[in-house]
Amino acid sequence: MGWTTSRHGNYPTTDIPIVELPDTLRFFRLALQERIYPLLRKQFGEFLPGGGKSLRVADGFIVKYDAEGGQTELKPHRDGSVLSFNIALNPATDFDGGGTWFASLNDAVKIDQGEVVSHASGVLHGGHGISTGKRYIMVCFVILEGYDSWSMRFYNNVRNL
């Protein structure tokens, strides 16, 4: 399938779903169990039912920002899940700008290759623009299996943070 821009209606990204990348998917599933879910439980567990034991990635994809003719930013928005996280896939020296902009900070959080930024999905955020180069990130939307009603209340509570 390759790069697409039609998977996310309101805030489209230039992306490839992780499920289309078998080697990445195998590595990612292991990383979720060994590193990412434990990190999210440590960061958010006190706010999640059961300490976040039922975390599950509902959607994961690689996003490409390209200053030379592609998507350079993503306007402020809220994701439709409980938690979201981004992993930087290339060095920050490959581009100028970038990062995840948060309304509550009125600033962008920049991460380097292999680093993670995570947040409650209902928090207003966006992809800060790049002016040169290419930026690649893995984006994942995380839900709590079996906690749909709780998840909606949590989402609405964090919208104003």
Q: Specify the pLDDT at position 148.
A: 78
Q: Is 38 helix (H, G, I), strand (E, B) or coil?
A: helix
Q: Which two tokens stand for residue 28?
A: 């990612």
- The per-type count for the chain, helices as H runs and strands as E runs, is 3, 10
Q: What integer pLDDT is reported at residue 95 of this predicted model?
A: 98
Per-residue pLDDT tens, the chain, 161 aa: give them: 689 888 877 888 999 999 999 999 999 999 999 999 999 999 999 999 999 999 999 999 999 999 998 999 999 999 999 999 999 999 999 999 999 999 999 999 999 999 999 999 999 999 999 999 999 999 999 999 888 778 878 877 787 66
| β-bridge partners, 12 | none
- What is the value of pTM for the model shown? 0.92
User: 130-144 and 95-97 as β-strands: parallel, antiparallel, unpaired?
Assistant: antiparallel
Q: What secondary structure, in 3-state letters, does 131-158 show?
A: EEEEEEEEEEEEEECCCHHHHHHHHHHH
